[in-house]
Amino acid sequence: MLLYILKRILYVAPVALGVSVVCFMLVHLAPGDPLTAIMPVDATAEQQAEMRIVYGFDKPLPVQFGLWIGKVVTGDLGKSIATGRPVLDEVARAVKNSLILACAATLIGFALGSFFGFVAGYFRNSPLDRLASAISVLGVSVPHYWLGMVMVIIFSAQLNWLPPTGAGPGGSADWRPDLEHLRYIILPAITMSVIPMGIIARTVRALVADILSQEFVQALRAKGLGEWGVFKHVVTNAAPTALAVMGLQLGYLLGGSILIETVFAWPGAGFLLNAAIFQRDLPLLQGTILVLAMFFVSLNLIVDVAQTALDPRIQRA
Amino acid sequence: MSDALMVDVAGLTVDFKGPKGPIRAVDGVNLHLKRGETVALLGESGSGKSVTLRSLMRLHPSSARIGGKVEVDGRDVLKLSSRELAALRGPIVSMIFQDPGLAFDPVYRIGDQIMEAVRRHEKLSKAEARARALALFERVRIPSPDKRLDNYPHEMSGGMRQRAMIALALACRPKVLLADEPTTALDATVQIQVLLLLRELQRELGLAVVFVTHDIGVAVEVADRIAVMYAGRIVEMGPARDVIREPRHPYTQGLLLSRASHAPTPGARLAAIPGAPPDLADLPPGCSFRPRCGHAIDDCAEVQPEAVSVGAAHFARCIRTRTTAEAYEAVVA
């Protein structure tokens, strides 16, 4: 098992290198000059050239990449052009907030999705199944920024139950799981949970239906297990795949939450990314994308390892 | 008490939902087993043998409609609540499945699956249940049993898995053992070993065994009596030796003649039964075998043939048993 984990970690290295090249190149392919954001409109060509040298934008791209990656491996992502603060601090804080939101959303999505999936899988082709399936299709299909706005209209503007935006008192810096802060996370988390809910529900429905049709379920009944006993076996058999899907969904949520974080002004990585793009803050943009990409890679790693631990049939060689 | 019936099935019918109304998979099956007796249900796919077998513990999809009388060890199986049914499955009736590779939960250790069955029915500690599982593994002669208990199903060979399956079936000391083609998924050499093991255990434990197979050789090897099924009915039943030596139903005769050992000379064509089994949703009137039968006369289409006694405890559902007897003697001689 240990050997397997080491091997998997080793495989991550080339992926990580590829990811960093791509995210560096992407940012430089984008049109627009990062300096226009920070230089006064009337700056002379000399001043611009000077700043270019200060930020190292005058060197050839491969050299820039070399310098950047050299710093990155030591944990230095440079300074934000817009704020002057270290990118790492900015990203770390934003990622923490995104993580909180993504975890909350995934938990809600996984709980509801598993529930609907099990109901649909157990009572296949019944009205219950159709209802659960309709909910999950709706969950995957509804644009989540639109849903977010609708939620704000209903629960904030009309009913005035929950705050529409922000992360609560203290802003982006310190989110705590107390009642005051939890009120702020409810709307964005539910909005965000809808897609993983739908995907997990559909996965679990298919899994459960497949497992229930297998011969060993009959064999379990033949040894006198009741519905509850069989259910435990179904859960154990569905868990590896369901967890893998959940892990991937968590990854998607971490990177794919720009729209929701913008709608709810949630100070997370997506919000930061949005700001960095509009301010043409290259170091911040690169740093954020890289951190998010690495998050995804490590999440895949964790999911793979967890799956191996849960399902004995996957070779550990 | 030893003469009391362990299995008493009379007029059993099983209907499944079909696209065009119910399909009768089993029609009027009678089956009686005493303690220590083995009956083989012989037939081809779709003849209703597995469905009959599963009726003894009501292991059908919920859409199936079961009628008639099914009593096992004095319990009316068709009237049991689901709780009573669960209590029946394991300690009274247990089952060996056709493919042990599919019948074990792939993500649980084999030992745990046996312990689960034991602890479901008896108040035993984990250690006691494991001791029982270990004893069972020794009994079915699995080498290094203690280590094997911790195996996952995929870590065992097919023959080993079937031994483990037998151990599981015996875990709660059942009185009736149902075997659903337990050797079909195995290699020929392993088949013999598993059959011998089953027969040995059956004798030692005094089990009543219902053994489903499509292989006449296997049926002869294990069974005291053979019941031949065709299109949901038992068409011939009798002591194993009598059924094999003096088959009276043309279907049984066809099965026996189609075996390689009956080929008159090497290289000669085997005698196959012409045609295909009938569609259960659309059975021909009268005798279901009539369209494929060489001895059929017009009367065969009139009525469903009654069981005709053709020997001691030997009957066939055919109105032309005299003709078929003579014809068979002529072919075999």
Cα–Cα distances (Å) from B8 to A180, B17, B274, in that order, read 70, 26, 35
Both tokens assigned to B182: 């337990």
Q: Testing the interface with A: which of B80, B105, B177 to mutate, by most A Cβ within 10 A?
A: B105
- Residues contacting B330, CB < 8 A, separation 6+: none
Q: What is the pLDDT of residue B295?
A: 87
What are the backbone dihedrals phi and psi of residue B194, each rounded to the nearest 5 degrees, phi first? -65, -40
pLDDT for B119 equals: 93
Name the nearest CA neighbour of A264 among A193, A191, A177: A191
Is it the case that residue B10 has pLDDT exceeding 50? yes
Q: What residues in B contact A218, CB-CB < 8 Å?
A: 59, 97, 103
Count of residues in chain A: 317
pLDDT at B232: 92
Partners of A214 on chain B (C-beta within 8 Å) are 102
Q: What is the pLDDT of residue B63?
A: 83
C-alpha B274/C-alpha B242 separation (Å) is 25
Inter-chain contact B103–A225, Cβ cutoff 8 Å?
no
Residues B190-200: tens digit of each pLDDT: 888 889 999 99
Question: Nearest CA to A266 among A92, A144, A102, A110?
Answer: A102
Q: Using CB atoms, pick whichever of A221, A224, A237 lies closest to residue B105.
A: A237
> What distance separates the 2 farthest-apart alpha carbons in chain B?
67
Torsion sign (Cα): B60, B66, B70, B76: positive
pLDDT of residue B3: 61
Angle made by CA atoms B225, B231, B237, in degrees to the nearest 5: 20
Q: Would you state the pLDDT for residue B282?
A: 84
CA gap B5, B207 in Å, rounded: 12
Residue B276, classified by CB atoms within 10 Å of its CB into exposed (0-12), middle (13-18) or buried (19+), is exposed
Q: Give CA torsion, residues B52, B54, B55, B58, to 10 deg.
A: -170
Candidates A216, A218, A223; nearest CB to B90: A223
Alpha carbon of A20 to those of A77, B110, B122: distances in Å?
Answer: 12, 46, 60
- Asked if A236's CB is within 8 angstroms of B105's CB, the reply is yes
Look over chain B and give the mean of its residue pLDDT values, rounded to a whole number: 89
> In sequence order, what are the beta bridge partners of B213?
B42
Q: Using the structure block, give the residue that is written with the tokens 């079936």.
A: B169
In the prediction, which pLDDT does A38 show? 66
- On the question of pLDDT at B1 being above 50, the answer is no
CA dihedral for A51, A52, A56, A59, sign (positive or negative) = negative
Closest-CA residue of A relative to B109 is: A312
d(CA B293, CA B272): 12
Residue of chain A whose Cα is closest to the Cα of B83: A226
Q: What is the pLDDT of residues B220-261, one digit of tens each?
A: 989 999 999 999 999 999 999 999 999 999 999 998 888 767
Check residue A34 and give its pLDDT.
64
Partners of residue B154 in chain A, C-beta under 8 Å? 312-313
What residue in A sits closest to B178 (Cα-Cα)?
Answer: A222
Contact between residue A255 and residue A23 where contact means Cβ atoms under 8 Å apart: no
Q: How close is the nearest chain A Cα to the Cα of B178, in Å?
A: 10
Q: Are B150 and B185 in contact (CB under 8 A)?
A: no
- By C-alpha distance, the chain B residue nearest A230 is B105
Backbone angles phi, psi at B269, to 5 degrees: -70, 145
Residue A253: Cβ within 10 Å count: 24
pLDDT given for residue A317 in this prediction: 42
User: Which of A216, A226, A312 comes nearest B103 by C-beta?
Assistant: A216
The two structure tokens encoding residue A290: 């890289």
Residue-by-residue pLDDT tens, chain A, 317 positions = 778 788 888 888 888 888 888 878 877 776 666 666 667 777 777 877 887 777 777 778 888 888 888 888 887 877 787 777 888 888 888 888 888 888 888 899 999 999 999 999 888 888 888 988 888 888 888 888 888 888 888 888 888 787 777 776 666 566 666 777 777 888 888 888 888 899 999 999 999 999 998 889 999 999 989 888 999 999 999 988 888 888 878 877 776 578 888 888 888 888 888 888 888 788 888 888 888 888 778 877 887 777 777 776 665 44
Distance from the A216 Cα atom to the nearest Cα atom in chain B, whole angstroms = 4
Query: Residues B177, B211: contact at Cβ < 8 Å?
Result: no
Q: pLDDT confidence of B169, banded at 50, 70, 90?
A: very high
Q: What are phi and psi of A46, to 5 degrees?
A: -65, -45
Chain A positions touching B89 (Cβ under 8 A) are 221-224
- The residue type found at B331 is V
Q: What is the mean pLDDT of residues B319-324?
A: 87
pLDDT of residue B114: 94
Residue A223 has its nearest CB partner, among B99, B106, B168, at B168
The whole-angstrom separation of Cα B324 and Cα A53 is 106
Asked if A219 lies within 8 A of B171 by C-beta distance, the reply is: no
Can you tell me the mean pLDDT for B28-42?
93
What is the per-residue pLDDT across B56-68, written as a single tens digit (0 to 9) for each?
A: 999 988 888 999 9
Q: What span, in angstroms and rounded, lies between the C-alpha atoms of A235 and A121?
A: 12
- Chain B positions touching A310 (Cβ under 8 A) are 107
The answer to whether B107 contacts A236, with C-beta atoms less than 8 Å apart, is yes
Both tokens of residue B134? 């270990």
Cβ atoms of residues A205 and A117 within 8 Å: yes
